[in-house]
Amino acid sequence: MRTPLVAANWKMHKTIPEARAYLERLLELVGREAGVEVVVIPSFTSLPAAAELLAGTPLGLGAQDAYPEPAGAYTGEVSVTQVADVGVHYVLCGHSERRNLFGEGDELVGRKVQAVVAHGITPILCVGETLDERRAGGVWKVVERQLERGVAGLNDNPRGLVIAYEPVWAIGTGVAAQPSDAQAMAARIRVWLRKRFGARGDRVRIQYGGSVNTDNAGGFLSLPDVDGALVGGASLDPDTFWAIARSAHR
């Protein structure tokens, strides 16, 4: 059985003191409860403080992005080597906001996935269609292309790979996909993973992301092919986020 993975993507929110207060409260709520893996993904500035607070706890730590080159003249970038040095367990690769706001293409996302895996960290590969792509009827073609190019640099062992399906039109809009749509896409991704990785494809966890909240989380997290959630705005309050995470207990 795949352990559900629920991750809090803070995006560009919280100062270091705010991050500390959040994590202290979340640790109180989570305790040593098992059954779901909880990961917090803060801004780069809060990663060292978060790593210190979360050491030896059941909470995982992730980075929102990382550049594939180990070092060099890449002003403003943070490398996979550097986030590995902090002690992250996960790195988001190809989040829709990176693709749409900063022009990251599939090839760069694939390089990031490959670099993350090479450092022994788990990539969360984000895939999903825009509203225009959905209206054009090419949803699977878009997602399949993102999957193929995202894992192009991996061998036949996915080694902890996580896929996050995030329909772009549902992110930050308050309009979530229907659970039936999320299940249909997750099931199709599962079939693709089996073709790409064989039986090992069944080990890959598939998250849903896109306006997940306390009202709809249970509907998504009870789906047979959805193994967790990538939570954005609703994750900014620790009590709300924990209520969502608890919906994933199986």
Distance CA 153, CA 9 (A): 25
Q: Does residue 95 have an active-site annotation?
A: yes
157 is in an annotated binding site: no
9 is in an annotated binding site: yes
233 is in an annotated binding site: yes
Residues sharing a CB contact under 8 Å with residue 125, sequence separation 6 or more, in sequence order: 93, 94, 109, 113, 146, 147, 150, 151, 161, 162, 163, 164
242 is in an annotated binding site: no
Distance CA 122, CA 124 (A): 7
Cα-only R_g, the chain: 17
Q: Does residue 24 have an active-site annotation?
A: no
Q: Are 111 and 85 in contact (CB under 8 A)?
A: no
Among residues 95, 97, 104, 129, the one annotated as catalytic is 95
DSSP state letters, 160-212: T-EEEE--GGGTTTS-PPPHHHHHHHHHHHHHHHHHHHGGGGGG-EEEE-SS-
10 is in an annotated binding site: yes
Q: Are 94 and 126 in contact (CB under 8 A)?
A: yes
155 is in an annotated binding site: no
112 is in an annotated binding site: no
Among residues 37, 97, 104, 166, the one annotated as catalytic is 166
Q: Locate all alpha helices (DSSP H) within 11-154, ordered by sequence.
A: 16-30, 47-54, 80-86, 96-102, 106-118, 131-135, 139-150
22 CB neighbour count, 10 Å cutoff: 24
Residue 125 identity (one-letter amino acid): L
Q: Summarize the annotated binding site as residue ranges.
A: 9-11, 172, 211, 232-233
Provide the annotated active-site residues: 95, 166
Q: Summarize the annotated binding site for substrate as residue ranges.
A: 9-11, 172, 211, 232-233
